[in-house]
Chains A and B, each alone.
Chain A
Amino acid sequence: MRDVYVIGAGMTPFGELWNKSMREIFVDASLAAIQDAGVDHVDSLYVGAMSPGLFIGQEHLGAVVADFLGITPIAATRVESACASGGISFRQAFLEVASGASDIVLAGGVEKMTDGADVTEALATAADQEYEVYHGITFPGLYAMIARAHMHQFGTTREQLAAVAVKNHRNGMKNPNAQFRSELTLEQVMKSTMVADPLRLLDCSPVSDGGAAVIVASAEVASKLKRKNVKVTASAQASDTITLHDRKQLTTLDAVVRASEKAYKMASKKPGDINFAEVHDCFTIAEIVITEDLGFFEKGKGGEAVEKGLTARESGKIPINSSGGLKSKGHPVGATGIAQIIELYEQLSGRAGDRQVKAAKVGLAQNMGGSGASCVVHILEAT
């Protein structure tokens, strides 16, 4: 496989973008990425989107966005893997450049969630419709069941869950594209409305609109640019049972374990070699479980780690979600995986401004779909 680099990035602010359509959001992010990279064309594009059909009644997204970017007749493909759509869009672009089929590929993601659809029902389509959702489970409900099992098995506390939200909001305050740039206190999280016991409103990532795009390119293209580029040293993906109840364990996300094992092997890295990570904190419990399953902390110790500040941006052993994560930055589902890559890119090229992580040389992005039935992990390194 050929070496692959990220050479440019662009995104819209995440939030309730009522004055912008999905296509405008995607085009804004893509134009910013193309301009940032300084390229005059792309060979093809991928767009990650979970469910534009349910959110705005529009499918056939590849053609829609290629048309509105004015770059037909290039190959344009929509990628779907629930909340991992963005990360897998990036992986498709990576594979296309690595294979030699293309030299410059745009990997993007978008979601338009505030146009009036029943968002709870639309998101629930990422679970088993007949044997989970039929019985009235929701996504907060699925993660609540993971949380309760984790609390029961390892003694994880309600305060430790809340500490994830507090930390991520503190990071998001320094991210100009974040949806919620406000400080949260532990007490605010603990007293927010109960959604699905034991998870409360402020344990949940928000409903958001937003788009994100990066340009990936071959070494030959990257070497012609007069700036620091970022190399993609691993891309790995794994799947698991669609239902949460069929998993081997309720407190381990096996797809995260498997994808990260493959990624570490591909990049010749160990968990201890990773300087910082963006992980899929769709709910506070998810960040705790993921940081364990990525090998950053022993199983059952993820709650304690966040409480002790081991994942803090400023002084943590391994800063997690310096961007604010899904919780504070926002979670326009299809865009999330690309926004994680953008945070890695900005940190590794020293452009993260007020939220710059010290000595950021190796970053990991973990993006997953549903209750963990699909997961994609990337490792990026400064060159």
Chain B
Amino acid sequence: MISPRYAREIPHRYQLLAARCSSCGSIAFPPRRVCRKCQGQKFEAAKLSSEGTILTFTVIRVGADRFSKQTPYAVAIVELNDGVKITTQIADADVDTLQIGQKVRLVFRKIQEDGKAGILCYGYKAVLV
């Protein structure tokens, strides 16, 4: 991963920085220029809720090469308490006992390594509460 590309996403991945539309109040994550709901273009900074619920999930048994050392791992779509939905890994859980509807909270974790000589890449994962 080229570092400028990585660095641009740091505030969102590390601090859950989002943007709230000044006209309709809907939250965009990551922040965007144009509101998906009302096409408004004015936003104020917002921080995502770090707690939510599993809407659906899978267990990746065959991953892309750069994730192949991590298999099997669970990936879920989580709806956070503020209504924002994200795709995230579920960490520290027995992947065979996960259920739709389980409550989770987001924690800061290493996500992937950029090859042998590249940077370590961090961000959020969810853990069961």
By a beta-carbon cutoff of 8 Å, the part of chain A in contact with chain B is 118, 120-121, 124, 130-138, 140-141, 144-146, 148-149, 152, 193-199, 241, 243-246, 250
Contacts and interface: CB of A to CB of B under 8 A. Distances in A.
Given A131-B30, A136-B75, A152-B56, A196 B62 contact: yes
Contacts of A152: 56, 100
B11 interface: no
B123 A141 contact: no
Contact of A118 (B9, B30, B64, B112): B64
B111 A135 contact: yes
Contacts of A118: 64-65
Contacts of A131: 30, 86-87
Contact of A138 (B64, B111, B112): B64
Contacts of A141: 58, 60, 75
A124 B64 CA distance: 9
A121 B87 contact: no
B contact residues, range: 20 to 34
A3 to B, nearest CB: 37
Contacts of B56: 145-146, 148-149, 152, 250
B88 interface: yes
Contacts of A194: 59, 61
Interface of B: 9, 30, 36, 55-67, 70, 73, 75-77, 85-89, 100, 111-112, 121, 123, 125
Contacts of A195: 61-62
A349 B123 CA distance: 55
B62 A120 contact: yes
Nearest to B98: A197
Nearest to A133: B64
A193 B100 CA distance: 23
A145 B62 contact: no
B57 to A, nearest CB: 6
Given A118-B65, A121-B65, A134-B112, 9 more contacts: A120-B63, A135-B123, A138-B62, A141-B75, A144-B58, A145-B56, A145-B57, A196-B62, A245-B86
Given A131-B30, A148-B100, A243-B87, A138 B63 contact: yes
A196 B65 CA distance: 15
B111 A140 contact: no
Contacts of B63: 120, 136, 138
A316 to B, nearest CB: 29
- Across the A-B interface, give the 3 residue pairs with the lowest CB-CB distance, nearest first: A144-B58, A149-B56, A121-B64
B59 A134 contact: no
B91 to A, nearest CB: 11
A131 B123 CA distance: 10
A300 B61 CA distance: 27
Contact of A135 (B55, B61, B85, B87): B87
A118 B62 CA distance: 12
Nearest to B100: A152
Contacts of B30: 130-131
A250 B85 CA distance: 11
Contacts of A121: 64-66
A365 to B, nearest CB: 29
A137 B9 contact: no
Contacts of A244: 77, 87
Nearest to A241: B36
Nearest to A250: B56
